[in-house]
Structure 1
Amino acid sequence: MDQYKLFLQRMGLIGTSTFLVTITGIMLLPILTQNLSIQDYGVWTQFQITITIIPAIAILGLPYTMVRFLSASKSRTEIQEAFYSILFTVIFASIMGAVALYILVVPISHVLFNGNVGVGLILPLTVIMSALQLVFVDYFRASNQMTKYAVFTTLQAYMVVIFALLLVLMGRGVVGAVTGILITQTLISLIMFTFVLKQIGFKIPRFHNLRQYLTFGLPTIPSNASFWVLDASDRYIIGIVLGITSVSYYSAGYTISSLLTILTSPIYTVLLPILSQFYAERKIRETRFLLNYAIKLYLIVAVPAVIGLSILARPLLYILSTPTLANQGYLITPILATGGLFFGLYCIITQIIVMERKTKITGNIWAISAILNIILDVTFGYFLGIIGIAIITLLLYLTAFLITVYYSLNYIRCDFYVKFAKKTIYAAFFMALSLILLNPYGPVNIVLSGLFSFALYIFVLWLLKGIKTDEIKFFTGMIKESLVNVYCALRGL
């Protein structure tokens, strides 16, 4: 039972960190939309998308591989060999990608950045630093150093806000904003590498197991890039088919729906290292219990989150952006939030396939999804605009989840709590009704209404015996403990 408590503690820590990271996107929204033109905000969005997908390809799935294989490693020599083999390979691959981007900087700038070559020139270096940062944060994840993982990811997000704000207010425009990202990633990568050196030292790798790592990691590229395939690529296509202004509308609604990652990220981040230890020791019963536990925990909070974000999207966007963006962007938030719910369930179930080292399955799922996404986005985007593209995203997330469930049940059978899910939906109906009746506007009213409606949801769920009093007390204590841990970690860094 100690492992399950540890899982909850780590998840609470990462959940707090994810919340702090996610709200930086909310902080940046008014800073950028009120100081940049709608076109330049679209350029910022395209830049962020690009530094998501290109490093995801350049790292060759290796940091994710490191989490799978290093979680059960005890030998310092093994850890050194694996880490530096992966690090050097990623450096080489990311530099090759950066060189290609530099050679093609002019056409890329015209296609993606509205002709802003200055932004295009910053892209290659940012890609290199993004790839390195992924290696370092996944090292801390693989070695179960979740406090450092949480602190560094949180620190990175707030440094971006600070540097982007300063450079935009200095009149540097969108070029200054993206320069803030590059400065932040460089500093954070140097700090993290210093910590790694203190822990394991330095060693020139012999690349003994690189072939094994690549065999595991390469098929995960489509899966690990799924965030881009079904979300970020949408904005590329919107920019080409509907124009850069529509990218801004879509991004505004997406920013609100992305708050759902506060729930998905901690479970996804913490689950694999612990499951890998259980599975390596052939503790199948414990593995199944933890998977089921994660599904139920996710459903408790994800269902009301989708309802709350869907109803509060418009008033939130009125506060955080401009009336034009709010009136256009809020329409897609319910669709994308529902898709995010299924993606969160996928992130839990796919751990079974990863533990079985059947990563070709997930690779094939997302490769097919990517092709369908492009074809359907162009078609539905042309006829239905950003709403059609959001619907396609939802359908592809749902399909990926169902296919993954089909394959995973061949290895470990999970309980999806159908009866419990019905209770959460029933309780969420009362939550939705209360929010509609309250119709909040303004920051204070929105926060108070959200807290009241969520408390009502928990109360109804408790009446339906979907959650017990002891569980409520336990989770409340865990949240308090996690907040204290993050505060202490930030003070001691």
Structure 2
Amino acid sequence: PFLWRISLGKAPLNAKSISTPLLSEMARYGFPLVIGNLAAWILSLSDRYVLEFFRGSQEVGIYSASYSISEPSIMLLATLFALTSGSIVYNIWEKEGEKKSQEFVSKLTKYYLLVCIPAVVGLSALAKPLINTLTGQEYHGGYKIIPLVALGAFFLGLQQRFYAGVNFYKKTHFIMFSIVASGFLNLGLNFLLIPKYGYIAAAFTTLISYAFLLFLVIIVSRRFFIWQFPVKSLAKATCASSVMGVVVYYIGNSLTS
């Protein structure tokens, strides 16, 4: 490996050994992702600072307690899909062509919907007993935002399904622009709504911003990579999860009442 050879002094590190075109290509691909990650930080954490400034640490605590229960639960599933499928879709693209990779992304999204929609609904249905069990009494009011946060995390995970074409064609600056736009929307809505509505507004603005990010990424992705979205799976998962949610809601709340 190159770094190993450098550490042993066996590989010369000078201007001639550095490929300027390669560095330029790496910068064009990676720099937008760095900026996008900074904007994602604004998108995910700015609400806490605005909430602290306008409403105080008590509401930040309520918001953070509910957020830390709901958002990581959904993002864990989304991350598993992203990590296990990322290299596979590009491998399929290179070896079997774009059409096969489109079919793979469509099938992967189907599984994402079938797994994550029930998770969002179940988490929302059990919001009150979960908060009452896992947090102190002063945080119990935060159960109201769990459905908003869980749905926002679902949108955040879903937009990752549309990255394949953008990444393959090395158009990562479009991802950066989408995240930056969503981050500024989130920041603006936070300053507009949090002073009056508190942590409820913080959860709502996060949901709106993630939905807006999903919308932008879909528009951008379709310029390079169009695949069939599993609408039937979306409808089936939503209907089945709704029925499940009603049952789980009444059972869960009856056990803790």
TM-score range, shorter chain: 0.7 to 0.9
Alpha-carbon distance, 1:281 to partner: 4.0
Correspondence for 2:211 among 398, 403, 417: 398
Alignment equivalent of 2:138, drawn from 324, 330, 338: 324
Partner of residue 365 from structure 1, selected from 155, 175, 178: 178
1:426 Cα offset (Å):
0.9
- Where 2:126 maps in the other structure, the secondary structure is helix
Alignment CA distance shift 1:216-1:439 (3 Å): same
Q: 1:349 is matched with which residue: 142, 162, 168?
A: 162
1:409 maps to what in 2? 222
1:240 aligns with 2:53: yes
Q: CA deviation at 1:437?
A: 2.2
Q: What does residue range 100-119 of structure 1 map to in structure 2 within 5 Å?
A: none
In structure 2, the residue matched to 1:378 is 191
Distance in 1 (alpha carbons) for counterparts of 2:218 and 2:11: 41
2:115 corresponds to: 301
Aligned match of 1:43:
none
Paired residues of 1:315 and 1:441 also in contact (CA < 8 A): no
**1:269: which partner in 2?**
83
After superposition, the Cα gap between the structure-2 partners of 1:204 and 1:268, relative to the gap in structure 1 and judged at 3 Å, is farther
Q: Note the alpha carbon deviations across 1:305-353, whole angstroms, 9 max, x for none.
A: 11111121221122222011122x2111111111111111101112221
Distance 1:235 1:223 in 2: 20
| Offset of residue 240 of structure 1 | 1.9
Match of 1:480 in 2: none
Counterpart for residue 467 of structure 1: none
2:125 corresponds in structure 1 to 311
Match of 1:287 in 2: 101
Please point out which of 220, 224, 243 is paired with 1:430: 243
- Alpha-carbon shift at residue 227 of structure 1 (Å): 4.4
Q: Distance in 1 between matches of 2:129 and 2:240?
A: 23
Tell me, yes or no, if the aligned pair for 1:303 and 1:425 is still in contact at 8 Å: yes
Q: Which runs of 5+ in 1 are unaligned?
A: 1-75, 85-196, 446-493
8 Å contact from structure 2 (residues 90, 164) kept in 1? no
Distance 1:383 1:231 in 2: 20
Aligned amino acid, residue 104 of structure 2: L
In the TM superposition, what are the counterparts of 1:34-433 in structure 2 within 5 Å?
76-77=1-2, 80=3, 207-208=18-19, 209-225=22-38, 227-258=40-71, 259-281=73-95, 283-327=97-141, 329-433=142-246
Instruction: Report how far residue 425 of structure 1 moved.
Output: 1.0
Specify the code of the residue in structure 1 equivalent to 2:41: W
CA distance in 2, matches of 1:264, 1:347: 8
Distance 1:419 1:275, change over 3 A: closer
Residues 228-264 of structure 1 show CA distances to partners (whole Å, capped at 9, x for unaligned) of 2322221122122222222111111101212101210
Residue pair 1:256, 1:309 contacting (<8 A) in 2 also:
no
Tell me which amino acid in the other structure corresponds to 1:401.
Answer: L
Shift of 1:428: 0.8
Spell out, residue by residue over 1:121-173, the C-alpha distance to the aligned partner (whole angstroms, 9 max, x if none): xxxxxxxxxxxxxxxxxxxxxxxxxxxxxxxxxxxxxxxxxxxxxxxxxxxxx
Distance 1:299 1:238 in 2: 32
Aligned mates of 2:18, 2:190 — CA distance in 1:
41
C-alpha distance in 1, partners of 2:80/2:239?
26
Are the counterparts in 1 of residues 148 and 203 from structure 2 also a CA contact under 8 Å?
yes
Distance 1:244 1:273, change over 3 A: same
Q: Which has the higher contact order (CA 8 A, sep 6+)?
A: 2
Give the TM-score, by structure 2 length: 0.87
Deviation of 1:360 (Å)? 0.9
1:207/1:255 Cα in 2 relative to 1: closer, same or farther (>3 Å)? farther
Alignment size in residue pairs = 248
For residues 325 and 411 of structure 1, do their structure 2 counterparts lie closer, same or farther at Cα, with a shift above 3 Å needed?
same
Which runs of 5 or more structure 2 residues have no equivalent in the other structure? Answer: none
In structure 1, distance between residues paired with 2:61 and 2:145: 12
What letter matches 2:152 in structure 1?
A: G
Structure 1 runs of 4+ off > 6 angstroms? 201-204
Normalising by structure 1, what TM-score? 0.47
In 1, Cα distance between equivalents of 2:10 and 2:58: 48
CA distance 1:378–1:207, shift in 2 (3 Å): farther
**1:256, 1:313 within 8 Å by CA — same for their partners in 2?**
no
Shift of 1:399: 1.3
SS at 2:229 equivalent = coil
Aligned to 1:68: none
Structure 1: distance between partners of 2:124 and 2:64 = 15
1:208-229 Cα shifts (integer Å, max 9, x gaps) = 3333222211111243345423
Structure 2: which amino acid aligns with 1:348?
R
Q: Find the residue that maps to 1:214 and give its secondary structure.
A: helix
The 1:369/1:309 distance shift into structure 2, 3 A limit, reads same
Which one-letter code corresponds to 2:37 in the other structure?
N
